[in-house]
Structure 1
Amino acid sequence: MIEFLKQPWAWYVAGPLIGLMVPVLLITGNKTFGISSSLRHICAACMPAKIPFFSYQWKKEVWNLVFVSGILAGGLIAGFFLLNNQPVQVNSKLISELATYGITDYNSLVPQQLFNFTALFTLKGFILIIGGGFLVGFGTRYAGGCTSGHAIMGLSNLQLPSLVATICFMTGGFIMANLILPFILMLKI
């Protein structure tokens, strides 16, 4: 059984398991699946009630914080104890393309040449890590939720705003991966 857990699960196993969370949450208390709202709950728990955006009864959503904590704990357990420490499998064409940008290390989930504390203090690293994080946070707030909330929960409930948000998320991802990221990676800074 442990050997089964040490292998990456195929999309046709992991996808339905994630999808089954929607009816489980709806049946067990009319709860909605989404991760980005948990940050608001954490801020509401830690911030004074003087800020109107964080002034609500966050304790009713404590289940969401437990859910997110379980995701974090599961990721840590899998990363430290279950997954074998083999290099990430990357398509040979992508390896050739990334090599032109100086990315050759595939021993972790993210390229160490880009995502490390030394790279953070370069202009390229600042753009990718800080700028990217800001844009993801801004986009999530502007869209009223994240990809899990819209693409998994919203689409399964046939919500038009979730369809629009998911189309925008996907379009933005394609533009970033194919147009903007290669330009940033070519910068010699």
Structure 2
Amino acid sequence: MEFILSPWPWYISGPLIALVLFLLTMMGKRFGMSSNLRTMCTLCGADKHAEFFKFDWKAQRWNLLVVVGVVIGGFIGHFFLSNGDEVAISKNTIDRLKDLGFNGAGKEYLPTELFGAEVFSDPKMLFFLVVGGFLVGFGARYAGGCTSGHAISGLSNLQLPSLIAVIGFFIGGLFMVHVLFPIIF
């Protein structure tokens, strides 16, 4: 029972991810989360307003199960599989985050200063959420997929554009964390 309630080691979870990707490849499917947004927008009628959303969404029904699985898996992971331990990050990182005003650093996975409901009443934070959401959405479409699609599915298929995209994601993330983030906060 201890194995089920503790985080799975890489040598269990890694091969399981590889097995899922192998099965998807054999079925002619590609994994990625941003394509689900396109499917959901089409289901809500966006195909009546933009050519981009005019496609056979029924062929992507299987991928909507990924979204349902992520939500259910997140719920189960948070409420039934979390053991309450602190987040495993270095003391230096915790100290740096606390210097930037993130008081829950090392205790919570998502800082409430960025992801709590109170950010919607702060104009500065609301601005950053809207601009950040736009940039992530634009970047995912411009790159031809999101981080999960390129890093998991694209790299496993040895696609050069996915390698370039993943390198760009990492460079952008490092630039944000080490350059822009301290300026903004």
- Say whether the fold is shared (TM-score over 0.5): yes
Task: Please report how far the alpha carbon of residue 113 of structure 1 lies from its aligned counterpart in structure 2 after TM superposition.
Answer: 2.7
**Which secondary structure state, in structure 2, belongs to the residue aligned with residue 20 of structure 1?**
helix
The structure that is helix-richer by fraction is 2
Counterpart Cα distance in 2 of 1:168 and 1:105: 29
**Which secondary structure state, in structure 2, belongs to the residue aligned with residue 149 of structure 1?**
helix
Query: TM-score normalised to the size of structure 2?
Result: 0.88
**Alignment map for 1:1-189 (pairs within 5 Å):** 1=1, 3-27=2-26, 29-47=27-45, 49-50=47-48, 51-106=50-105, 107-185=107-185
Task: Please report how far the alpha carbon of residue 145 of structure 1 lies from its aligned counterpart in structure 2 after TM superposition.
Answer: 0.2
Task: Please report how far the alpha carbon of residue 69 of structure 1 lies from its aligned counterpart in structure 2 after TM superposition.
Answer: 1.1
Counterpart Cα distance in 2 of 1:12 and 1:174: 27
- The alignment covers a number of residue pairs equal to 183
Task: Please report how far the alpha carbon of residue 155 of structure 1 lies from its aligned counterpart in structure 2 after TM superposition.
Answer: 1.8
**Which secondary structure state, in structure 2, belongs to the residue aligned with residue 114 of structure 1?**
helix
Deviation larger for 110-119 or 166-175: 110-119
Counterpart Cα distance in 1 of 2:165 and 2:99: 33
Query: Does the 8 Å contact 1:5/1:83 carry over to 2?
Result: no
Q: CA RMSD in A?
A: 1.9
Deviation larger for 102-111 or 64-73: 102-111
Compared with structure 1, are the counterparts of its residues 103 and 48 closer, same or farther at alpha carbon in structure 2 (3 Å cutoff)? closer
Identity of aligned residues (%): 46
Deviation larger for 148-157 or 55-64: 148-157
Per-residue CA deviation, residues 127-168 of structure 1 (Å, 9 max, x unaligned), is 443322221111101111011211221122222211211111
Counterpart Cα distance in 2 of 1:132 and 1:121: 17
Query: Does the 8 Å contact 1:103/1:111 carry over to 2?
Result: yes
**1:143 is aligned with what amino acid?**
A
Counterpart Cα distance in 2 of 1:138 and 1:5: 38
Query: Does the 8 Å contact 1:124/1:184 carry over to 2?
Result: no
Structure 2 alignment gaps of length 5 or more: none
Counterpart Cα distance in 1 of 2:86 and 2:21: 33
Counterpart Cα distance in 2 of 1:132 and 1:11: 31
Counterpart Cα distance in 1 of 2:35 and 2:90: 35
Compared with structure 1, are the counterparts of its residues 25 and 102 closer, same or farther at alpha carbon in structure 2 (3 Å cutoff)? same
Counterpart Cα distance in 2 of 1:67 and 1:90: 28
Query: Does the 8 Å contact 1:115/1:129 carry over to 2?
Result: no
